[in-house]
Copies of this chain bind each other. A is one copy, B any other.
Amino acid sequence: MQPPADGERPAEAGPSPFERDFLPASEEGARHLWYRRIFHHDAPDERNFDLVLILVILASVVVVMLDSVPAVKARWHAWLYALEWLFTLAFAFEYAVRLWVVKRPLRYATSFFGVIDLLAILPTFLSLLFPASASFTVIRALRLLRVFRVLKLVEYSSEAGVLIQALLRSRRKIFVFIATLLTIVVIFGALMYVVEGPEHGFTSIPTGMYWAIVTVGTVGFGDVAPATGFGRFITSVLIVIGYSIIAVPTGIYTAELARSLQPRRRQVRCTECGLPDHEADAWHCRKCGRALAPEGTD
């Protein structure tokens, strides 16, 4: 039992972590066939369904993008509008099928991806009632999130798993870090608002905070920049601070991730004191000294 090549777990068959708790409404017939197509990802036809779905989703997002480019819109709007409707109906059909094949439709509809699915079709229909409002565009872009349901399922789920576990394990540290960062941002934002003042673009403390975030995050648009000598000195201090603490989230995350990738320990329960996990090379229980079951047998 070598340590796993790189944190890979066997790609779980069946529903994804997100949808595991959706049971099929029936065990055979068309309903179950579609259930498998939609929620499973192993048999050829199931995979093909996923592939088509991803392509349609990406295409629909591309359409939304193109429709926002003036030059393209002027020329092709009619076609894009037609495609938009085509995709919307396809998604509507898929949504209906999902509700149909699942045992508890309501529970599905209220799940994270259930809401995303609804948002994918809603705007186009609403645009019939109301004059197409810009905000619909954003909601349409959210369709992209649907790709993740499919991605998450198959071979990438384990990879994502490792990354997310590490993130979760370090969430508290990152919270402490963000809190510190925001405090620095508020104080330097107020400082620059006072030192530089409106005449140099620091029109308010929130503007100063925006500048501080842009600076400490090493983005530096330059739309707001210090002009006085003292302001530039404060900026230098802020940059050195930012430069030093950019190490912190990387450090936190890398250290956690390195732990995730470390060869896992031996999971054998001591027959006497029941201690469940031991070092990879342990022969005796470190608590009670009782000999452990040999390597092969666990």
- Chain A interface residues toward B at CB < 8 A: 2, 5-6, 61, 64-65, 68-70, 134-135, 137-138, 140-142, 144-145, 147-148, 151, 155-156, 159-160, 162-163, 166, 169-170, 172-179, 181, 183, 186-187, 189-191, 193-194, 197-198, 203-207, 209-210, 213-215, 217-223, 225-227, 229, 232-233, 235-236, 239-240, 242-244, 246-261, 267, 269, 273-291, 295
Q: Are A287 and B289 in contact (CB under 8 A)?
A: no
Task: Tell me whether A69 and B204 are in contact in the complex, defined as CB-CB below 8 angstroms, given that A186-B61, A225-B221, A246-B243 are known contacts.
Answer: yes
Task: Tell me whether A194 and B134 are in contact in the complex, defined as CB-CB below 8 angstroms, given that A169-B6, A259-B261 are known contacts.
Answer: yes
Find A162's partner among B160, B173, B214, B232 (CB 8 Å cutoff): B173
Report the separation of the CA atoms of residues A170 and B8 in the bound assembly, to the nearest whole angstrom: 11
* Nearest residue, chain B, Cβ from A139: B190
Q: Are B280 and A276 in contact (CB under 8 A)?
A: yes
CB distance from A140 to the nearest CB of B (A): 8
CB distance from A152 to the nearest CB of B (A): 9
Q: Are A141 and B187 in contact (CB under 8 A)?
A: yes
Q: Residues of B contacting A286 with CB < 8 Å?
A: 278-279, 281-286
Q: Residues of B contacting A253 with CB < 8 Å?
A: 247-248, 250-251
Q: Are A207 and B187 in contact (CB under 8 A)?
A: no
Q: Are B236 and A209 in contact (CB under 8 A)?
A: yes
Find A176's partner among B159, B217, B223, B252 (CB 8 Å cutoff): B159
Q: Are A2 and B220 in contact (CB under 8 A)?
A: no
Find A210's partner among B187, B209, B236, B289 (CB 8 Å cutoff): B236
Report the separation of the CA atoms of residues A65 and B246 in the bound assembly, to the nearest whole angstrom: 26
Find A219's partner among B187, B219, B260 (CB 8 Å cutoff): B219
Report the separation of the CA atoms of residues A181 and B144 in the bound assembly, to the nearest whole angstrom: 12
* Nearest residue, chain B, Cβ from A135: B194
Q: Are A217 and B218 in contact (CB under 8 A)?
A: yes
Q: Are B172 and A159 in contact (CB under 8 A)?
A: yes
Q: Residues of B contacting A203 with CB < 8 Å?
A: 69-70
Find A2's partner among B140, B207, B210, B267 (CB 8 Å cutoff): B267
Find A173's partner among B147, B163, B206, B236 (CB 8 Å cutoff): B163
* Nearest residue, chain B, Cβ from A65: B205
Q: Residues of B contacting A288 with CB < 8 Å?
A: 283-284
Q: Are B194 and A137 in contact (CB under 8 A)?
A: yes
Q: Are B287 and A193 in contact (CB under 8 A)?
A: no
* Nearest residue, chain B, Cβ from A174: B244
Q: Are B141 and A156 in contact (CB under 8 A)?
A: no
